[in-house]
Amino acid sequence: MSLRFHYHCLRRDLSNFSLLRHRDYTGFLVSMHQSGTHWLKHMLATAIAVRHVLPPPRYSHANDIIGGVHDARVHARGPLLVSSHSIPHLLVASPWLRQQVRLPPYVVLVRDLRSSLVANYEKWKEHYACPFSEFLRGDMSGKRFNNDLWWCMRFCNAWGRIAQRFPKQTLVVRYEDLQCDPLRELMRIDEFWALQLGAAALTVGVNESSKERMAAKRDPDTPGGVTVVRRDNRPAADWFGSEDRAYFSATCSTLLRHDFGYDYGRWPAAPK
């Protein structure tokens, strides 16, 4: 299993040139799937709109202010920020490359893998059409699911390596810390990207980005059958039976090199 995993990591990480092609930005947000990306983008985009006197983000994903690498820029004013779930090419972790070309400062948004996986399953379970235990074991080739345990470990290992090598150009934000104190985490990002948004504008961003307000701004073009906010509010750990817990912990212990401070060997008591 270990050899197969590292083979797929190498094959995919050598073929993804997206971050090498797209470099000319004030800041680049890279995030795990289901890690609060829309929430973070909406808070930042709202603060940017306040600071630069722009219309507030039209939809909850805020792509008109913080879009993807292929989205056209909507507003001429304000910082040029983009977001992606991209896993970097191996050269992005190369000190030699960074001496040759400028790469933008990266904010890396992560979340407890268990919560991320449960949220992804809840969002796409009608499409996946399989039990959670089957989804948990994933598809190492990356063909069956748009996100699974193998993708999450690839993401964490790649960006953890970059954060370790280039701490001044990489800021790690944990979703759980964002939940605990959103203004504090936004101010860290504001300082890291030198946006100069300030506490007042960021506070507006926090206040305008509640679940209720963002739900009212859902993009009508969101594909049918996709749940943006998880309907099942059980704790993520409750989805894992005893065999699932053992499989998850053992796999992470063997193959996950950068855990960002999460302890995947510890579990709350199993539900009765």
What is the rounded CA–CA span in Å between residue 64 and residue 52? 14
For residues 194-223, give the mean pLDDT.
92
Residue 211 domain-assigned (yes or no): yes
- Give a yes or no: residue 262 inside a domain: no
Q: How many domains does the chain have?
A: 1
Residue 180 maps to which CATH number?
A: 3.40.50.300
Q: Per-residue pLDDT averaged across 186-210, rounded?
A: 97
CB 195 within 8 A of CB 171: no
Residue 184 within any structural domain of the chain: yes
- The answer, yes or no, to whether residue 233 has pLDDT greater than 70, is yes
Q: Is residue 65 part of a domain?
A: yes
Determine, yes or no, domain membership for 264.
no
Instruction: Report which secondary-structure segment, H or E, holds 206.
Output: helix 198-207
Over 70: is that where the pLDDT of 153 sits?
A: yes
| 241 domain residue, yes or no | yes
**If pLDDT is split at 50, 70 and 90, which confidence band does 231 have?**
low
pLDDT confidence of residue 229: 53
Tell me the average pLDDT of the chain. 91
Domain that holds residue 47: 2-255
Q: d(Cα 12, Cα 14) in Å, to the nearest integer?
A: 5
> Is 265 contained in some domain?
no
Distance, CA of 91 to chain centre: 21
Bigger pLDDT: 229 or 214?
Answer: 214
Nearest to 254 by CA among 112, 174, 149: 149
From CA 93, how far away is CA 13, in angstroms rounded? Answer: 11
